[in-house]
Structure 1
Amino acid sequence: MIEQKDKLKAQNGSKQDGGIQQFFSQENQELLRGIMYPKHVEKGSNLFWEGDAADYLYYVRKGRIKVTKSADDGKEFTLYMHHKDDLIGYGDVLSESVHLLSAVAIEDCDLGVIQRKDLEVLLWQHGDLAVEFMRWQGATHMLTQTKMRDLLMFGKTGALCSLLIRLNNSYGEPCGEHRRITIKINNTEMSDMIGATRESVNRMLSDMKKEGIIDLVDGHIVIHDLEYLRNVCHCDNCPAHICRV
């Protein structure tokens, strides 16, 4: 029975905690849901592109969304992977601005869409909601800063170790004495998330496997030594809503 549950969790691939519950009271969550309208996005479809008007926020009811940034040479970096109960918005949604990033569905998704004008009215009417919204925006900015730190401060090995920690916080579950990442993520996807080549990621993961830091079981990464990963990337022990993919 336990094994069957583990298989189901791996297939579903995401943790069901976190999301907007960390920032908004139950009452204010209901206020936000009250101004949403439903939208279905099929796998592979873009939610928005860099340069599009940032007139909407998106709440993930089901599925996963990948958020990317394009470099001048055309290379695409994966900055975020959003899942159930996440609120997505990049750019100043409270003024006329554009998205600084692009978003694409990596699974069929059911979303709730919030129009900027509707949100402005709600924030004017409910001061406590406005405070919680500012807290959510602040956490989003902090998440971006920590990811830039990963990419710039401690080399590709440090960035990969940080990514593995973030994957554990977002999709990890107990596996005996270790931790298993419940989603399957390939080396090309990981290379896009740390700005490295696929070959470099292959080599670094192979070295970690030889040293007993990680293992690969049925396509899932199993972390044996989380403390080693934290030491390599000089982990600041950020809260889980910051240290996530």
Structure 2
Amino acid sequence: MEGKNTIHQTPYSNTGFFSAKTMELLQAKMKRKSFKKDAYLFLEHDESHELFYVLDGGVKITKTTEDGKELVLYTLHKGDLFGELGLDGETKHRFQSKTTADSVIGVIPTSDMEQIIIHNGEAALELIKWMGRMNQFIHSKLRDLMLYGKNGALSSTLIRLSHSYGKIVPEGILINKKLKNNELAEMIGTSRETINRMLNGLKKIHVIDYCGTGEIIILDMEYLKLQCHCEGCPIDICRI
């Protein structure tokens, strides 16, 4: 039976393409730490000396906007690796991280990561690919926010949610996770009131609906894709 200290990969985790050997190397260097919900692992501009791996629970990566709102860039679950791996000297965190539930995190010193990269060619290539994927993930989220306004950002967020939690139902795609409107607001850097108006607008034109227990059902995926100029990114990039 899997425990909270067990390496856990899924096809959609950002380490899903790592080989078994690479995962063994990472696990051997991990120090397991427990964190309560809403604990910060690091803050923006903190020096980065470690990478982090979610063994249990969850983490959100956020950035504070100029007007003080917390923008959720992405969320991390079991099997996800995160942090800044600077190989050219001192590195600082560009964002901040906060647990979304009581969590167990594997902490790996960057000095150990550097040794893994130096002595294991396959692991080095996979970690370089991981860094590229993480940058692509952040850039795609910022693109949606900067280029296509709040409507595009909400449309993109609903698509990402459908990839992470979607379930096919007769009406369309059920986002099988109940979200409060303030949580959606954090994902696109706006207010709960604005999200309320936007969701009501999408419901009025039959793009979304709600099931009896309150979860969102996407009725018209093509409309959402047009709103955010969807580029058809792989699902491991287009996730929440």
Counterpart of 1:238 in structure 2 is: 233
Q: Aligned runs of 1:1-245 on 2, under 5 Å?
A: 17-90=11-84, 92=86, 95-217=89-211, 218-245=213-240
Q: Where does the alignment leave 5 or more consecutive residues of structure 1 unmatched?
A: 1-14
Distance 1:94 1:129, change over 3 A: farther
Alignment partner of 2:74: what SS? Answer: strand
What amino acid maps onto 2:126 in structure 1? Answer: E
Q: Residue 23 of structure 1 contacts residue 135 of structure 1 at CA under 8 Å; is this kept in 2?
A: no
Distance 1:65 1:214, change over 3 A: same
Give the number of aligned pairs. Answer: 231
What amino acid maps onto 1:232 in structure 2? Answer: Q
Using the TM superposition, give the Cα deviation of residue 91 of structure 1 relative to its aligned residue in structure 2, in angstroms. Answer: 6.0
CA distance in 2, matches of 1:40, 1:94: 30
Q: Residue 91 of structure 1 contacts residue 98 of structure 1 at CA under 8 Å; is this kept in 2?
A: no
What amino acid maps onto 2:39 in structure 1? Answer: S
CA distance in 2, matches of 1:115, 1:23: 22
Supply the RMSD in Å over aligned alpha carbons: 1.8
Using the TM superposition, give the Cα deviation of residue 93 of structure 1 relative to its aligned residue in structure 2, in angstroms. Answer: 6.3
Counterpart of 2:3 in structure 1 is: none
Alignment partner of 2:156: what SS? Answer: helix
Distance 1:95 1:241, change over 3 A: farther
CA distance in 1, matches of 2:168, 2:57: 23
Q: Where does the alignment leave 5 or more consecutive residues of structure 2 unmatched?
A: 1-8
Of the structure 1 ranges 177-186 and 120-129, higher mean CA displacement relative to structure 2 is found in: 177-186
CA distance in 1, matches of 2:51, 2:146: 29
Deviations, residues 136-159 of structure 1 (Å, cap 9, x unaligned): 000111111111110111121111
CA distance in 2, matches of 1:110, 1:38: 7
Of the structure 1 ranges 82-91 and 122-131, higher mean CA displacement relative to structure 2 is found in: 82-91
Alignment partner of 2:111: what SS? Answer: helix
Q: Residue 39 of structure 1 contacts residue 111 of structure 1 at CA under 8 Å; is this kept in 2?
A: yes
CA distance in 2, matches of 1:91, 1:115: 10
Q: Residue 55 of structure 1 contacts residue 93 of structure 1 at CA under 8 Å; is this kept in 2?
A: no
CA distance in 1, matches of 2:85, 2:128: 14
What amino acid maps onto 2:222 in structure 1? Answer: E
CA distance in 1, matches of 2:144, 2:95: 18
Alignment partner of 1:22: what SS? Answer: coil
Using the TM superposition, give the Cα deviation of residue 79 of structure 1 relative to its aligned residue in structure 2, in angstroms. Answer: 0.8
Deviations, residues 106-138 of structure 1 (Å, cap 9, x unaligned): 111111111111111111110111111000000
Using the TM superposition, give the Cα deviation of residue 47 of structure 1 relative to its aligned residue in structure 2, in angstroms. Answer: 1.1
